[in-house]
Amino acid sequence: MHHVSLRAATLRAVWRFAFRRVFGIVLVLFVAVVLTFGALQYVPGDPILILLGDQSGDVELEARLRAEYGLDRPLTEQFVSYLGGVLRGDFGLSFRFASTPVKDVLATGLAISPVLALVALVLSVPLGIGLGTFAARRKGTLADSLTMFVLVLGISIPNFALASFLVYLFAVRVPLLPVAGWGTPAQAVLPLVLLIVPAMVYIGRLTRTYLLEVLQEDYIRTARAKGLREHLVIYRHALRNTLVPLSTSIGIIFGGLLSGTFVVETIFNIPGLGSLAIQSVFARDYPVVMAVVLLYTLFYSLINLGVDLLYGVLDPRIRLSS
C-alpha cells in the first residue's frame, strides 16, 4: 500500500518534470521566433527588390511576389502566420531560391550537420574518457605527463591552425584523403578529426581531474578494503561517479560540436546547415537564416533536456528530487 502510493507519487513527479521541461522548451522557442522575426524587420534591403533583380520595374510581378511571400499583409498577421507555419514545420519560402519552401532548402543540411556533430560526440566521449583515465591512473608518471602534454597541446592549438595543417598535409603532401566535398566516407574523415580533437582533449582533461578527485573519496577506500580488483575499483566505483559531473560537460561539448560544424563545413565545403546559414546571410535569405537559428535553438534545448535526463539516470540522488 505504502509503496503503491510512493510509486504514484514518483510517477506524478516525473510527469510534472516532463511537463515543466517541455513547456520551457516551447517558451524558449517562442522567444526565439519573436526575436528572429523582430530582427528581420530591421535588416537592411527589401528582399523582394533583390528577388526581382533587373525586373525591378515590373510592378505587377512585384505585387505578385509580395503576396506570395505574404509581405503585403500587416505585420501582426505576418507574425501569426509565420508562427503557425513554424508549428507545422513550415518556415515559409526562401528568398534566394525563388518560390522554394525553406524546408526543402534545409533538407540536405539537416541530414549532415547534426549527424556530423553526433558522430563526433559519440567518438570523442569514449576517446576522451579513455585518455583521461589512462593519465589519472598513472598520475605523476612520465606517461601521465606525456598524455597531459598532448592534451594541453590539443587545447592550445587553434582549430583553424589544425585545419590548415591538415588540409596542407593531405592536399599537398600525402593526398590520401579528400580535403573537400561531401558524400563519401573518406570525405568525412578530416572534418570529423577536426571536430573530435578539441572535444576529446577537453573531455580527457576533465576526466582526469574528476577521476583524481573521486579516487580520494571514502567509498573508494571502502571498495579497496573489500578486496575488489583494481579495475573494478577504477571503472565500477570511481569512473562511474565521474560520469555524473561529466554529463554536464558532455552537453556543453555537444553544443560546441554543433556550432563547430559551421567552421568545419565552411573549410571543407560541406553542404551542411552551417555553410547554408553563412551563404544565406550573405544572400540575405532571411527565412532560411531564421529557420537555422530556430533549429539550433531547438537542438540546444533538446541537449539540455537530454543532459538533465542523463543526470537522473546516472545519479540516484537526483532521480526524485528534481
Partner 1 sequence: MKALLEVRDLRVSFGATEVLDGIDFDVYEGEVLAIVGESGSGKSVTALSMMRLLGESAEITSGSLRFSGRDLLELSEDEMRKVRGREIAMIFQEPMSSLNPVYTAGFQVAEVLEEHFGYSRKAALEKARELFEMVGIPAPEERLRSYPHELSGGMRQRVMIAMAMASEPKLLVADEPTTALDVTIQAQILALMKDVRSRFGTSVLFITHDMGVVASIADRMLVMYAGQIVEEGSVESLFESPRHPYTQRLLACAPSIGERKERLSVIEGFAPSPDAYPGGCRFHPRCSEAIERCSAEPPRLVRGVRCWVAEDS
Site string for partner 1, 213-252 (x = CB under 8 A): ----xxx-xxxxxxxxxx-x----x--xx--x--------
Q: What is the largest CA-CA distance in the chain?
A: 87
Q: Is 316 in the site for partner 1 (CB under 8 A)?
A: yes
CB of 111 to partner 1, least distance (A): 37
Q: Return the exposure string of 1-32: e unless at least 16 CB atoms fall within 10 Å of the residue's CB, then b.
A: eeeeeeeeeeeeeeeeeeeeeeeebeeebeeb
CB of 242 to partner 1, least distance (A): 11
List the interface residues with partner 1, window 121-180 (CB under 8 A).
Answer: none
Quote the cell numbers at residue 230.
Answer: 583494481
Stretch that binds partner 1, among 21-29, 50-58, 100-108, 311-319 (CB under 8 A): 311-319
Number of residues that bind partner 1 (CB under 8 A): 23
Nearer Cβ to partner 1, position 59 or 142?
142
Strand partners, 101: 93
CB of 228 to partner 1, least distance (A): 6
How far apart, in whole angstroms, are the C-alpha atoms of residue 248 and residue 267?
29
Quote the cell numbers at residue 81.
Answer: 502566420
User: CB of 308 within 8 A of CB of 251?
Assistant: no
Quote the cell numbers at residue 163.
Answer: 585545419
Q: Is 104 in the site for partner 1 (CB under 8 A)?
A: no
User: CB of 90 within 8 A of CB of 70?
Assistant: no
Q: Report, in angstroms and rounded to the nearest whole number, the Rg of the chain calculated over CA atoms.
A: 25
CB of 223 to partner 1, least distance (A): 7
Site string for partner 1, 251-290 (x = CB under 8 A): ----------------------------------------
Nearer Cβ to partner 1, position 238 or 253?
238
If DSSP codes are grouped into helix, strand and coil, which group holds residue 182?
Answer: coil
Among 7, 12, 64, 317, binds partner 1 (CB under 8 A): 317
Nearer Cβ to partner 1, position 223 or 258?
223
CB of 96 to partner 1, least distance (A): 52
Q: How far is CA 302 from CA 24, 52, 91, in A?
A: 11, 39, 20
CB of 246 to partner 1, least distance (A): 13
Nearer Cβ to partner 1, position 189 or 220?
220
Quote the cell numbers at residue 274.
Answer: 552551417
CB of 309 to partner 1, least distance (A): 16
CB of 146 to partner 1, least distance (A): 20
Per DSSP, helices labelled H in 53-184 are: 59-68, 75-87, 102-110, 113-137, 142-156, 159-168
User: CB of 96 within 8 A of CB of 82?
Assistant: no
Nearer Cβ to partner 1, position 57 or 227?
227
Binding site for partner 1 (CB under 8 A): 3, 217-219, 221-230, 232, 237, 240-241, 244, 314-317
